[in-house]
């Protein structure tokens, strides 16, 4: 009897175990702390906001260049080996960056160290998704699998939103209570301990190459570049572009009112709503297809973005962000569900890291562009960029609907 023949009636929570979800949640925190921690350290120690922004973008660039490759390595060699190497390498990279930024070193070396942080960042979120998708495919009864997959992607997206709200808060707390290097060292410790624990968890054996009894050989690499996969990657790139443009233009909006330090709190209005509505996706009826969900929630995202043009006060801005949160969380859940469903055999970690890296790339690109537009043309011009990126997400949703039609 093969693993794929075993269809258990137990829930995914009981199959994976509660400790798995707790470990996977905390193991995401270092990634959420890295960009903000680097920015805080550079601005505080080097006294340059421009260098700080460039350094944070360089972390994202490192992740963008190597994220999908690390996912492919996990598919080829198993998550456990790859994650153990990355846990050690990333902890060292974080500690090295702290030493470099404090030293009398050229800015180029600071940027190189930041790139190393991004390049070695353990892709816990996409690898967790890939791991849970494997469990669903082989341990959940077929009639329960679609709803379980939807619930799992909803939880994973909510977990991402949660750590990206908590992560910057921890950075600020550690930096204020101790020193600018503290968040970096804290992230290094969390990486070594919890990413290591995530790698060694028993579920890691399920995604080791050759360990799934009766598993089919991995699909051809060309299958990763089929339109039905690429449209999802393009859609998540659009979400990343939205995140970057929204946060940067929001910072400009609050700075115009002398309250730039409150931009993160205001952004949290969107993040909290996004997480809550992401969890709600699990309760949507199965007849509300993934293609239709993407179009519906991307439309809400665009409508909320258009309302930014009417926001003349922080209160009005908070209302716009609340509407945006209704659209953005479910959109991401839908995109990850599509990515899971369309992952070629043996390539789930690769696809999940492609999708995750697209968000990081989009965020880094849009942050740099929006900052430049805000500085040259003002906040009103900068607020047009979230609208444009939301429109791109909707266009990708329509393209996906076309590609999702049954072939004649």
DSSP secondary structure of 91-125: HHHHHHHHHHHHSS--HHHHHHHHHHHHHT---HH
Distance CA 197, CA 141 (A): 29
Distance CA 270, CA 222 (A): 37
On whether the CB atoms of residues 238 and 327 are closer than 8 A, the answer is: no
Q: How many DSSP H helices and E strands does the chain contain?
A: 16, 0
The radius of gyration of the chain's CA atoms, rounded to the nearest angstrom, is 21
Q: What is the pLDDT of residue 406?
A: 72
On whether the CB atoms of residues 301 and 242 are closer than 8 A, the answer is: yes
Global pTM?
0.75
**Sequential pLDDT tens for the chain (408 residues):** 233 333 444 577 777 788 888 998 899 888 878 877 887 788 778 877 667 777 878 888 888 888 778 888 887 888 888 899 999 999 999 999 989 988 888 989 999 999 999 999 888 888 888 888 888 877 777 777 777 877 787 788 778 777 776 776 777 778 778 888 888 888 899 999 999 999 888 877 765 554 444 344 556 667 777 888 899 999 999 998 998 888 878 878 887 888 766 776 787 788 788 878 887 877 888 788 889 999 999 999 999 999 999 998 999 999 999 999 999 988 988 898 888 788 777 677 778 778 888 887 887 778 778 877 887 898 899 999 999 999 999 999 999 999 988 764
Q: What is the pLDDT of residue 111?
A: 92
- According to the 3-state scheme, what is the secondary structure of 223-284? HHHCHHHHHHHHHHHHHHHHHHHHHHHHHHHHHCCCCHHHHHHHHHHHHHHHHHHHHHHHHC
Q: What are phi and psi of 8, to 5 degrees?
A: -90, 150
Distance CA 370, CA 53 (A): 12
Q: What is the pLDDT of residue 350?
A: 78
Dihedral angle sign, alpha carbons of residues 62, 65, 66, 67: positive
| Number of other residues whose CB lies within 10 A of the CB of residue 300 | 20
Dihedral angle sign, alpha carbons of residues 20, 159, 358, 286: positive
Distance CA 386, CA 151 (A): 28
Distance CA 170, CA 152 (A): 26
Burial of 225 (0-12, 13-18, 19+ CB in 10 A): exposed
Helical axes 263-280 vs 314-342, angle rounded to 10°: 40
Dihedral angle sign, alpha carbons of residues 368, 371, 373, 379: positive
Distance CA 347, CA 229 (A): 12
How far, CA to CA in Å, does 318 sit from each of 276, 307, 386? 16, 11, 15
Structural domains for the chain: 17-215 (1.20.1250.20), 218-408 (1.20.1250.20)
DSSP 219: P
Q: What is the pLDDT of residue 317?
A: 93
Distance CA 169, CA 72 (A): 32
Count the residues in the chain. 408
Contacts of 5 (CB under 8 A, 6+ apart): 214
Q: What is the pLDDT of residue 394?
A: 97
How far, CA to CA in Å, does 185 sit from each of 44, 124, 292, 333, 394? 16, 19, 44, 32, 40
């Amino acid at each position: 009897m093969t693993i794929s023949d075993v269809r258990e009636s137990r829930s995914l929570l009981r199959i994976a175990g509660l400790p798995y979800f707790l470990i996977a949640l905390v193991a995401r925190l270092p990634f959420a702390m890295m960009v903000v921690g680097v920015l805080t350290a550079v601005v505080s120690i080097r006294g340059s906001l421009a260098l700080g922004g460039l350094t944070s973008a360089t972390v994202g660039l490192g992740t963008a260049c190597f994220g999908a490759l690390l996912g492919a390595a996990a598919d080829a060699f198993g998550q456990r080996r790859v994650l153990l190497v990355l846990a050690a390498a990333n902890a060292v990279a974080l500690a090295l960056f702290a030493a470099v930024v404090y030293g009398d070193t050229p800015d180029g070396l600071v940027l190189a160290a930041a790139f190393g942080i991004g390049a070695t960042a353990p892709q816990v979120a996409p690898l967790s998704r890939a791991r849970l998708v494997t469990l669903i495919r082989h341990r959940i009864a077929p009639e329960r699998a679609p709803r379980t997959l939807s619930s799992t992607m909803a939880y994973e997206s909510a977990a991402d939103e949660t750590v990206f709200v908590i992560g910057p808060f921890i950075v600020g707390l550690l930096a204020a209570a101790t020193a600018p290097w503290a968040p970096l060292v804290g992230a290094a410790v969390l990486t070594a301990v919890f990413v290591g624990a995530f790698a060694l968890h028993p579920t890691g054996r399920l995604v080791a190459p050759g360990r799934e009894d009766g598993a089919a050989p991995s699909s051809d690499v060309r299958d990763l570049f089929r339109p039905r996969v690429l449209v999802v990657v393009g859609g998540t790139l659009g979400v990343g572009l939205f995140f970057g443009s929204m946060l940067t233009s929001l910072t400009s909006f609050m700075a115009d009112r002398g309250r730039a330090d409150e931009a993160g709190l205001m952004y949290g209005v969107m993040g909290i709503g996004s997480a809550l509505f992401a969890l709600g996706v699990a309760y949507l009826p199965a007849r509300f297809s993934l293609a239709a969900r993407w179009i519906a929630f991307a439309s809400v995202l665009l409508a909320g973005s258009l309302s930014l043009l009417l926001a003349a006060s922080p209160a009005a801005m908070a209302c716009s962000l609340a509407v945006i949160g209704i659209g953005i969380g479910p959109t991401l859940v839908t995109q990850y569900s599509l990515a899971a469903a369309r992952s070629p055999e043996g390539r789930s970690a690769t696809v999940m890291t492609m999708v995750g890296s697209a968000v990081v790339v989009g965020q880094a690109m849009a942050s740099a562009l929006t900052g430049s537009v805000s500085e040259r043309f003002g906040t009103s011009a900068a607020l047009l960029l979230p609208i444009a990126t939301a429109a791109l997400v909707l266009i990708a949703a329509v393209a996906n609907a076309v590609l999702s039609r049954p072939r004649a």
